[in-house]
Amino acid sequence: MREILNDICAWTEPFAMATVVRTWKSSPRPPGAAMAVDGAGQVVGSVSGGCVEGDLYLRCQEALATGTPALVRYGVSDDEAFEIGLTCGGVLDVFIHRIDPRTQPLERLAAAVEGREPAVMATVVDGSGTGAQVLIVGGDRYGSTGNASLDRAVVTDALGLLEHGTNALVHLGSEGERRKEDVAVFVESFAAPPRMLIFGAIDFAAALARLGSFLGYYVTVCDARSLFATEARFPEADEVVVDWPHKYLRAARIDQRTVICVLTHDPKFDVPVLKEALKTDAAYIGVMGSRRTHADRHRRLREQGITEAQLARLSSPIGLDLGARTPEETAVSIGAEIIAHRTGATGRPLSELSTSIHRLVSDSTQRHALLTHRLP
């Protein structure tokens, strides 16, 4: 829903929402992808990139007219692939229901997302209370499933998923019991976006800041040189900081979704900041420089007490082998490596592989298994 939230918040009359709540195999969009249709027939968003939107449009109009929610499964078979199915071979469950913005806290959710305040929305998609929604922002709860015991269980699971920034389908008993399947609740997390920290106010950093913003990161550019670290040079960055990189990083908020890109390739900058970076839980640490610079950097870091295991965390030279030369091409190379690192993908051409195109992220799969009790 995040990608269409601003659009639907502008609607003042009831509308219908179709949300992907579960996927299997090579589904084109992940859980949380959404499409909305208003009373005038206006459409925003997408759940499959075009495969099933035509059928969903009609179902949304029906839900808008009747107020009756529906949980629909789309798959593929030889005889339906080019009718109402997913030609990619995936399977997805889509929940369709009517939303009245006058009675549901969409504005509160939008304000939380705009202010980078963690929020989570839980929607009952099957079982008693289907269509009921519970929004949690900070210590406040809006809405109810209609059952206090179920509310407590939903809030507990929703906050757990929010902590990891994941979406999932949770199965519970009618009174919130574990290991039962009376009620299915789709939990959508609206965690603050992951951070991309770029050290070195150079032209490559400007291109990477643009790409990082496009990929959904909250981008910070940091450099000790005030002449170069200016908002005018980095309009796509969310913040530009004038400080020594290692001092800034020492006090920065870093989590397991943070990516760190060191583009200074100057020992007086990158050795101290890398020493700090390797103390963090950052998901990715990439460093720009030639192979000679890379070898010298490793020598200097070893002299600072950095172990071989720590050095193995560094992606250096930074980026995938795309033959990149311009700042923009280099940014694509770095962005591609970050995505491959996050998903555990190979970075090889898909034409050379026989694995699923839309693979699951291994860490997320483990988190879902721990937090949602059941997986297909």
pLDDT of residue 88: 54
Q: 133-165 pLDDT, tens per residue?
A: 999 998 899 999 999 999 999 999 999 888 877
* Neighbouring residues of 77: CB distance < 8 A, sequence distance ≥ 6: 85
The amino acid at residue 94 is: V
Mean pLDDT, range 326-347, rounded to an integer:
93
Is 256 strand, coil or helix?
A: coil
pLDDT of residue 89: 59
Mean pLDDT, range 269-294, rounded to an integer:
93
pLDDT of residue 74: 86
Mean pLDDT, range 167-179, rounded to an integer:
92
Mean pLDDT, range 115-129, rounded to an integer:
92
Cα–chain-centroid distance for residue 22? 16
* Neighbouring residues of 292: CB distance < 8 A, sequence distance ≥ 6: none
pTM score, whole prediction: 0.67
Cβ atoms of 161 and 120 within 8 Å: the answer is yes
Q: 86-95 pLDDT, tens per residue?
A: 555 578 899 9
Q: How confident is the model at residue 362 (pLDDT cuts 50, 70, 90)?
A: very low
Q: 291-304 pLDDT, tens per residue?
A: 888 899 999 999 99
